[in-house]
Amino acid sequence: MNVYRKNNISPKEFKTQIRILKSSSFVFIISLAALFLSCGISSASEISAKAAVLVDSLSGEVFYAKNPDLRLPPASTTKLITAMVALDKLDPEAVVTISRRAANTPSVKPHLTAGQKISVKDLLYLALMRSINGAAVALAETVAGSEKAFVNLMNKKVQSVGAKNTKFINSSGLPGRKQHTTARDLAELMKESLNYPLISEIINTRIKMLDVDDKQVLLKNTNYLLWSDDNQIGGKTGYTRAAKHCVVSASKKGERTLIVALLGEPVRDDLWEDAKTLLDKGYEMIDNADSIIKTNHTELKRYSPNKS
């Protein structure tokens, strides 16, 4: 069939109309995708944390934000940065002698003992899986000679990543004045930490048995999302009375990685529920947008001129 003769237009005019149609369809696709995104964001508006973000790791697009730049205490999410700086400077197989100061740092069990010899790798497992504060201090002292000197390296690290609203005063996340981060910064720091293979391995481990001083130490990851979400690839939790409950975690589905950060969650159980809600909604939004684009690309082919 001669398309041009039937519609009484020249081939040049027909091709011009096709270009306009494709352009209009593309705008429609983008607008409809944006509509899905806006609907998804509003439906997740009941998040109870003081601050929250959901970010697409690849594009940097923010799918959800609640007080994303509000400065809040980071609690033990701090240890992600401690781990990165430690790995920038130390061999994971190097052995560290635990100082009295590190051993006496307030922490959950298992407690460290002055004089113990523990590898950098095992200290990272203790710090990231079980959130042992003394392990973070031991790493800091090994890198810089003192925790105070190490903190300077931490603050340089976060600035280099672009986390401009984050500042640390210690390596563990214990409470202190002028120590703060934001949900947006924390998500960016989580993204950076995934570039470290050992950190990625540790934070994605549910249970680990360590051999410390010929004693078996069982560690269970504090990130409960690892048990409830098969797409989880790991993260870091935190809690102090001032910070309340916190988490930053990454989830990968297909080729897309989403990062969720929650700060100042009053109730522990709500931390997991809110994180799962945001992640599920994020992937739903991605799936909907991809479906729209694929469908319309197929439809556009119908308007191609018949060459016969």
Residue ranges of E strands in the chain: 51-56, 62-66, 95-97, 117-119, 207-212, 215-220, 232-240, 244-253, 256-265
Catalytic residue among 50, 57, 66, 79: 79
CA distance 290 to 93: 44
Angle, alpha carbons 236-59-41 (nearest 5°)? 75
Catalytic residue among 50, 57, 76, 99: 76
Radius of gyration of the chain (CA): 25
Q: Are 59 and 256 in contact (CB under 8 A)?
A: no
CA distance 229 to 227: 6
Give the tokens for residue 160.
Answer: 């280099």
**Catalytic residue status for 50:** no
**Catalytic residue status for 308:** no
> What's the number of CA atoms in the CB half-sphere (13 Å) around residue 165?
16
User: What DSSP character marks residue 158?
Assistant: H
**Catalytic residue status for 131:** yes
Within a 10 A sphere around the Cβ of 210, how many other Cβ atoms?
19
Catalytic residue among 107, 131, 171, 193: 131
Give the tokens for residue 169.
Answer: 């005063």
User: What DSSP character marks residue 175?
Assistant: -
CA distance 167 to 78: 10
CA distance 289 to 304: 24
CA distance 236 to 222: 8
Q: Which residues are catalytic?
A: 76, 79, 131
